[in-house]
Amino acid sequence: MSLASGHQTVLLAEAVAALAIRPDGCYVDGTFGRGGHSRAILERLGPQGRLLAFDRDPQAVAAARAIGDSRFTLLHRRFGDLAAALAEAGVGAVDGVLLDIGVSSPQLDEGERGFSFRFDAPLDMRMDTTQGETAAEWLARADIRDITEVIRNYGEERFAFQIAKKIVAARSERPVATTGELAALVRESVRTRELGQDPATRTFQALRIRINQELEQLALALPQAVEILKAEGRLVVISFHSLEDRIVKRFMREQSAPDALPKDLPLRADQLPPARLRLLGKPVRAAAAEVAVNPRARSAVMRVAEKPALAPAREVA
């Protein structure tokens, strides 16, 4: 689906199909963005169905106002607040949760947001521009060790120390305040790079993840999603880089295995506690036709799991 903003929803048909939507069901779109998934879900819901969408970006919240549907509720919240926000909305359990992780195309394409090195703009990078610390503010106070660790761990950048050293040296003369200034410092520090990739790519990714606590929010949301799912409810997660997908893959794998018990307990297999999730199919990637139209779909990976009918309740971490 291509919306007026130019945003193209990745794995739209595949994700909505994976939810196995029931017309009278209640669903969560944890990342509204520009509403591609939400609109497709609403098309499949009946009059008694309900959809609650989350987004922390004020521009996404504004875009959601265009959906004049009584079955739809938009919550200006992080999906890491999933359980609490649904409880406040009077929702106890849902039939499906969809998480489309990471930055959205409008955030990258609107230069003033400060996410992209393609534009020279204030170095902001906040998904929720109403609160929190900007990337420029964090770079002004962080020490060289913290900057190095963020760029290395979240950007998987082998020149992390050299980049951090260059940033700290530059800010001693004047603040690193714009995307153009940061990109120039990174390019001076990175000696080699993969063909076709800008030297600043990994550093910008790392800072964006740090500023928005993206991996922490994902780790918080996954167990909450399992907790609020009804029996046979679906969890669908689309990730766009290895750090996200690693968290999702590990979580689903752990939740699909029965609890470990002492080996000497006299229990039959059918007496063991059931797993909390059942994996469905193999990871799904965008088809070549979708990638040709939307190159950002190239790195997308979708994983799907279902809550078994006999899955035990579990406290949310």
Q: Which residues are annotated as a binding site for S-adenosyl-L-methionine?
A: 35-37, 55, 79, 100, 107
Q: Which of 57, 104, 52, 102 is nearest to 82 (CA)?
A: 52
Tokens read off for 311:
């899955």
Burial class (CB in 10 A: 0-12, 13-18, 19+), 81: middle
Alpha-carbon torsion angle 68, 70, 72, 77, nearest 10 = 90
Residues in contact with 45: Cβ distance below 8 Å, sequence separation at least 6, in sequence order: 21, 23, 24, 25, 27, 51, 71
DSSP assignment string, 81-131: GHHHHHHHTT---EEEEEEE-S--HHHHH-GGGS--TTS--B----SSTTS
Q: How far apart are CA 185 and CA 183, in angstroms?
A: 5
Token digits of residue 203: 């550093």
Would you say 156 and 142 are in contact if contact means Cβ atoms under 8 Å apart?
A: no
With contact defined as beta carbons under 8 Å apart, do 113 and 121 qualify?
Answer: yes
Query: Which residues fall within 8 angstroms of residue 211, CB to CB, at 6 or more apart?
Result: 125, 126, 132, 133, 134, 135, 138
Residues belonging to the binding site are 35-37, 55, 79, 100, 107
| Type of residue numbered 292 | A
CA gap 266, 172 in Å, rounded: 67
What value does the CA radius of gyration of the chain take, rounded to a whole number of Å? 21
